Amino acid sequence: MPATIPGIHHVTAITGDVQRCVDFYVGVLGLRFIKKSINQDVPDTYHIYFGDYLGTPGSAMTFFGWPSWPERRTGSGQVTTVSFAVPEGSLGFWSGRLDKLGVAASRAKRFGTDSIVITDPDGIELELVDRASDDRFAPWREGPVGAEHAIRGFHSVTLTVTEGAATFDLLGRTMGFRKAGEEGNRTRFETGAGGPNGTVDVVESPNGPAGEESIGTVHHVAWRADGNAHQLAWREALVKVGRNVTPVIDRYYFKSIYFREPGGVLYEIATDGPGFTVDEAPEALGSELSLPPWFQVRRDRLDETLPPIVVPTTATTGAGH
Ligand code: ZN
């Protein structure tokens, strides 16, 4: 088996309204708008990225802006909850902030850890989990939340599948994840150092609806690879057990391979590098339309056809400090 997967790299979802999405992830959750780019497979549509100050692997929540996609149909075969890690003891701050901003929130406790549950404007279920290990992350100090309580990347993702066995088998036997607990129909796995950023929950829902690629759903979750060789080793291991894995695709900010796990959830394995500062300085991240070199010829047309995006500033969202 290749070296362990360290954790989550990014999560990509579908929004029907890019501006509303930016207002929420920056203005409410305090993530930084780190990249304005295009979907390389549907290049007249946006691919926007939120993250910590640098878009550190494990912090990037990204969206395809697909307003003409079908209405939200979430269910099995999808990531159905995206959980962010916040510093321990921050939930009180977050409750107050969400309340002040008019965002409905409830509380949950999973495997002994408290969280706040909310939905984003497109209907995606999110959690803020009261546990973070933040050595790797770079909180956005100038953001509307400030460094003390800022999100420290992802805590975990929750997959919903009709039947767990094959999903567990791929995670546990092929991908090196360790079973970490069971709570009702929810089974927890960990990878790498485990804990925040190295956790995935699988919920078995034999009678629930099947998810479809639609607005307000998660498109895929990407796992981290340490580099090109690590990624290729994983590609080989997955092909060996019969997964249909894409060739390595250059996404400019990282290299990617994609495959579906047996429950239907789309997985990606993405390299940590070169990262989001490959074409913009850290302080300028997200300020321009970023295009990979092979799309530069389309810049003029894209500048005309893509709707403008206004990124909220601390002044417009109110200081949350
Ligand atoms: Zn991706």
Predicted pLDDT at 133: 78
pLDDT at 303: 85
* CA 11–ligand 1 middle distance (angstroms): 6
| CATH code for the part of the protein at 8-305 | 3.10.180.10
Neighbours of ion ligand 1 (CB under 5 A): 12, 222, 268
Residue 252 falls in which region: left (phi positive, over 0), alpha (psi -120 to 50) or beta: left
**Could you give the strand order of the β-sheet that contains 266-274, starting from the edge strand earlier in sequence?**
32-38, 46-51, 60-65, 8-15, 218-225, 266-274, 254-260, 249-250
Distance 245 CA to ligand 1 centre (A): 14
Residues 6+ apart with CB under 8 A from 116: 91, 94, 95, 98, 105, 106, 107, 108, 127, 128
Strands 8-15 and 218-225, sheet pairing:
antiparallel
Quote the pLDDT of residue 316. 61
In the prediction, which pLDDT does 317 show?
59
Q: Which residues of the chain, if any, have pLDDT below 70?
A: 134, 314-321
Q: Is the pTM of this model over 0.85?
A: yes
Q: pLDDT value at position 321?
A: 43
- pLDDT value at residue 80: 98
Instruction: Quote the pLDDT of residue 135.
Output: 79
Q: Please give the DSSP secondary-structure letter assigned to residue 247.
A: P
Contacts of 284 (CB under 8 A, 6+ apart): none
Could you tell me the distance, in angstroms and rounded to a whole number, from the CA of residue 87 to the centre of ligand 1? Answer: 26
Residues contacting residue 13 through CB under 8 Å, at least 6 positions apart: 61, 62, 63, 64, 82, 122, 124, 216, 217, 218, 219
Question: What element of type H or E holds 116?
Answer: strand 113-119
pLDDT on residue 132:
84
pLDDT of residue 45: 95
Q: Which residues contact 75 (CB under 8 A, 6 or more apart)?
A: 160, 205, 208, 209, 210, 211, 212
pLDDT by residue (tens digit) across 51-75? 999 999 999 999 999 999 999 999 9
